[in-house]
Structure 1
């Protein structure tokens, strides 16, 4: 009986520790003038060429003002705003996990990379976030 009570407590403590760990990271930034390649974990998406099909999203068709407005409308916090690169963070509601969303301008489109800082699966949260940003445009 005690074991049944202990398991949820262990899971809760692990989730709290992961949440705290996610607050210590930062966006990867550009690598060779492109958004960084994605890790092998399924908790990320990108519009850069070379991204595996399962993690691929379309780039965003907008100007910088429209992108900044969409970021604000979807709850993103801008961490870095350079000429052709924007880094933002999004924090989940309950456990306060932090994800990085980065944008790189390429001519008339903005490439996007959305990735969780910790964990393995995100249950589609990063794909949904990019869809929400696209809808806010």
Structure 2
């Protein structure tokens, strides 16, 4: 019985240490930026959404209205993000998850009639819908 308890505790500690290491790894890097004039494609993993054309439905999200562009930097900061790149046609931001501090990249590209958005986790496979929820929260905040 004592051996089983030690094994269980060891597995739990290994998992916690693994999550801490993964969270630290996610803090290195920056948003990918524009690739051939568009936001980077989402990986096949379910931890990314984008409004750029030609993506699978599981990754698709509606773009933002063009009128939201000037409000984006303040709205990002008011919603817990940090703007790390700001140009005439591109905004790159980083959001961190509350518990472990995993870094997620949220990017915006100013188009002619709309603002394209991409939100993606830097590490891991699933985000349990966090990136989609973040974009929708930003959309709601911009509409206020």
| TM-score of the pair, normalised by structure 2 | 0.92
Cα shift at 1:108:
2.9
Q: Assess if the C-alpha contact under 8 Å between 1:74 and 1:133 holds in 2.
A: yes
Q: Which residue of 2 aligns with 1:49?
A: 53
Which ranges of structure 1 fall in alignment gaps of 5 or more residues? none
What displacement does 1:74 show? 1.2
Q: CA deviation at 1:65?
A: 1.9
Output the aligned Cα RMSD: 0.9
Task: Tell me the alpha carbon deviations over residues 100-130 of structure 1, each in whole angstroms, 9 at most, x when there is no partner.
Answer: 0000001131100000000000000000000
* Distance in structure 2 (CA, Å) of the matches to 1:59 and 1:8: 41
Equivalent runs, 1:85-96 vs 2, <5 Å: 85-96=90-101
Larger helix share, 1 or 2: 2
Scaled by the length of structure 1, the TM-score of the pair is 0.96
1:13 equivalent to 2:31? Answer no
Segments of structure 2 that go 5 or more residues without pairing to the other structure are: none
Hey, what's the Cα distance between the residues in 2 that align with 1:27 and 1:100? 5
Q: Supply the distance in 2 between the matched residues of 1:44 and 1:80 (Cα, whole angstroms).
A: 19
Taking the aligned partners of 2:11 and 2:68, their CA distance within structure 1 comes to 49
- Would the aligned equivalents of 1:43 and 1:123 in 2 still touch at CA under 8 Å? yes
